[in-house]
Amino acid sequence: MPPRRRSASGYRGVRHRPNGGFYAEIRSGDLRLSLGTYDTAREAASAFDAAAWRLGRQRLQMNFPDVQTLQQALDLAPPPRLNSAQDRAEHTALQRCLIVAQEDERVMAEWRRRHPEDVAYEQEYWERRREEDTRQRREERLDRRRRKALACAQADLVNAGGRSFFIEEDDRWFDIWLSTSDDTNYDDDGADDWSD
């Protein structure tokens, strides 16, 4: 019997589970013998090797050919991880969510196929929203620039011995300290993201 190829986990007889564990199994003739689920791929590979030693397999068919005896293989193989009722409930809930998500995708694809005019309208709507948001951000930036320029001019006037027409509670005093270098030194041609 030729040696089997290694799985995606990098070890013979070990598969990665969706819940994050590693499942080990070994074949004996036509039978598949389950060896349990482990926390790491190496632990599952060690369990495979211990079972392979018991079944009298050649060392070349094992994951760790440097192990010399059955006792060494048994010492390296940890006990399988116990799947509690909570683990099974979480797995079932996750499977339900995945089924619902797949069904949603299927229904949305069907809706897009049947109603292309709605898809075009939705794309147009979001394009208008982006343009409006871009225009609004540009106007806000220009307003901040104007306010800062006025505040700086008034500060220069005060420093030159003139009298300012700002009252103490005026927001423009705070504009003197407003840093706009990151926000206002470039023109917004779609460079902003929606996180602003």
Q: Where are the domains of the chain?
A: 14-76, 138-184
Question: Where is pLDDT greater, at 115 or 183?
Answer: 115
pLDDT value of residue 50:
82
pLDDT 10s digits, 148-173:
888 777 777 666 665 555 555 666 55
CB under 8 Å to 172, separation ≥6 — which residues? Answer: 147, 150, 151, 154, 166
User: pLDDT at residue 17 above 90?
Assistant: no
**C-alpha span between 67 and 94 (Å, rounded):** 39
pLDDT value of residue 141:
93
**C-alpha span between 2 and 31 (Å, rounded):** 17
Q: CB–CB of 30/1 below 8 Å? A: no
For all residues of the chain together, what is the average pLDDT?
Answer: 76
User: pLDDT at residue 131 above 60?
Assistant: yes
**C-alpha span between 9 and 21 (Å, rounded):** 11
pLDDT band at 184 (very low <50, low <70, confident <90, very high): very low
Task: Average the pLDDT over 36-43 and give the result.
Answer: 83
Question: Where is pLDDT greater, at 82 or 33?
Answer: 33
Whose CA is closest to 37, among 97, 91, 73, 95? 91
User: pLDDT at residue 186 above 60?
Assistant: no
* Torsional sign, CA 123, 124, 126, 127: positive
Q: DSSP H helical segments within the chain, as ranges? A: 41-54, 70-76, 85-114, 116-159, 171-175, 181-184
pLDDT 10s digits, 68-106:
777 777 777 766 665 667 777 887 888 888 899 999 999
pLDDT 10s digits, 102-129:
999 999 999 999 999 999 999 999 999 9
CATH superfamily of the domain spanning 14-76: AP2/ERF domain (3.30.730.10)
